[in-house]
Amino acid sequence: MSGRVAVVALGQSTCAPEKRQQHITEMVYDVVRNTLDSVGATPRDVDNIVSCSQDFIDGRTISNRTIPEVEGGYLKPEAKVAGDGAQAVFFGLMRVLSGKYRTGLVLAHAKMSEGSQNVIANAMFDPFYQQAVGLDELSAAALAMRRYLHLSGTTEEQCAAVAAKAFGNALRNPRVFRGAETTAADVLAGPMLASPIRAGMAMVPADGACALLLAHEDVARKFTDKPVWITGAGCALDAYYLGDRDLGRCDALVEAARKAYRLAGIGNPAREIDLVELCEFYSFQEFLWAEGLGLAEPGKGADLYESGRTALSGDLPINPSGGVLGGNPLCVAGLTRVIECARQIRGEAGAYQKDGVRVAVAQGAYGPCGQSQCVLVLSADG
């Protein structure tokens, strides 16, 4: 990397199943204002803006066209990533590293409550062969979970247990809404959505927004004395057609992690990383993504969970915030993972703070069965 880039300010709305009282523009205005106010910055301190949203979710073409004024984008370069918020951070990072900009605002928003999510998700599949059979993200994830259970020997009970962990962690996080003291048995007793995925094993639609401010090392300390450095980043894309890849594997994530770790100088991620925030839209993905990140051997993600290491009290917590299962929308989910890692490194996570976090990894995914993957390594030291 040419120079270093840091996260210097954070802003998050609460997430809720439905935010009727707020228009998208109001949500974006609030998180941008709070992000800049937290470090005494103004829109004049922002050189460029990257937003993340999705036309189908927002119900309009060019879904970022309604927000330039409220994000402070007047007469400024502004671009949209129509995918996951972690990818927006990756793009914002590249823009600052290009040398053309010194700062960049990255934000994401979604109001999933305003659309039929299975109809929206169906639109991502091939219109000739796959849409017609009714595929959506849930049914595709059910195929992937069944394949993963077959390959790894992981049980539905273990997938239910990791969901219960997420809900317990979410109780400590005031910005999400699915926190609950529950058990694997409770999750398994819930309604079946698409076998073998039960309601407690799947994300739910949500509304919310979040933002962060990136700054090159030349100006980072102008904003904060606690910059969080992005030391590694990697993206990779897998095959589009579900039949062209093994859904029980995550080759794109393996490649994205390899790129990010090489830049960050990480050789043994299971021992050199203090905390992980990943996008588990379905509970089994915590195991599969942990394997792709090199935290466990292939097929052994559940063993990592059973060891206790991934609990908040363990030495490698995964999703102490409650993760996506705790209640984050699409698009916002990946950017929230980056924000949560930065918050942990800064020591500002409150009731779910893990002591001594110096290196954290954020993972974002988008597309059917995690087709597109992004990994970002954040560090207190740079």
64: confidence class by pLDDT, cuts 50, 70, 90: confident
CATH number of the domain within which 15 lies: 3.40.47.10
Give phi and psi for 237, each to the nearest 5.
Answer: -130, 135
DSSP helix, strand, coil percent of the chain (3-state; round to 5):
40, 20, 45
What's the sign of the alpha-carbon dihedral 342, 346, 351, 356?
A: positive
* Residue entry with tokens 């021992």: 271
Of the chain, the percentage scoring pLDDT greater than 70 comes to 99
What's the mean per-residue pLDDT of the chain? 96
Evaluate whether residue 210 is within a structural domain. Answer: yes
As a whole number of angstroms, the distance between CA 57 and CA 66 comes to: 14
- Residues 6 or more apart in contact with residue 231 via CB below 8 angstroms: 4, 263, 264, 265, 377, 378, 379, 382
Evaluate whether residue 37 is within a structural domain. Answer: yes
What's the domain range around 50? 5-116+205-223
Asked whether residue 35 carries a pLDDT value surpassing 50, the answer given is yes
Evaluate whether residue 93 is within a structural domain. Answer: yes
Evaluate whether residue 307 is within a structural domain. Answer: no
In the numeric block, which tokens belong to residue 357?
Answer: 């976090």
As a whole number of angstroms, the distance between CA 285 and CA 132 comes to: 26
Of the chain, the percentage scoring pLDDT greater than 90 comes to 95
Closest CA to 249 of 135, 369, 334, 124: 369
27: Cα separation from own chain's centroid: 19
Q: In the chain, how many domains are there?
A: 1
Report pLDDT for 65: 85
Asked whether residue 222 carries a pLDDT value surpassing 60, the answer given is yes
Report pLDDT for 299: 97
Report pLDDT for 193: 98
Angle (CA) 214-217-218 rounded to 5° is: 115
Give phi and psi for 301, each to the nearest 5.
Answer: -60, -35
Angle (CA) 164-313-162 rounded to 5° is: 20
- Residues 6 or more apart in contact with residue 165 via CB below 8 angstroms: 305, 310, 311
Asked whether residue 2 carries a pLDDT value surpassing 80, the answer given is no
What average pLDDT does this structure show over 87-116?
97
Closest CA to 320 of 362, 282, 284, 358: 362
CB of 65 closer than 8 Å to CB of 96? no
In the numeric block, which tokens belong to residue 267?
Answer: 């050789």
CB of 191 closer than 8 Å to CB of 198? yes
Report pLDDT for 61: 83
Report pLDDT for 8: 98
Evaluate whether residue 327 is within a structural domain. Answer: no
In the numeric block, which tokens belong to residue 232?
Answer: 């590694």
CB-count exposure of residue 33 (10 Å: 0-12, 13-18, 19+): middle
As a whole number of angstroms, the distance between CA 378 and CA 120 comes to: 33
Evaluate whether residue 304 is within a structural domain. Answer: no
As a whole number of angstroms, the distance between CA 199 and CA 204 comes to: 9
In the numeric block, which tokens belong to residue 326?
Answer: 């705790």
pTM of the model: 0.97
1: confidence class by pLDDT, cuts 50, 70, 90: very low
As a whole number of angstroms, the distance between CA 91 and CA 13 comes to: 22
Evaluate whether residue 122 is within a structural domain. Answer: no
What's the sign of the alpha-carbon dihedral 184, 188, 189, 191?
A: positive
As a whole number of angstroms, the distance between CA 285 and CA 301 comes to: 9
Q: How far is CA 194 from CA 34, 139, 274, in A?
A: 39, 6, 34
Report pLDDT for 288: 98
CA atoms within 13 A on the CB side of 284: 30
Evaluate whether residue 57 is within a structural domain. Answer: yes
59: confidence class by pLDDT, cuts 50, 70, 90: confident
What average pLDDT does this structure show over 66-86?
94
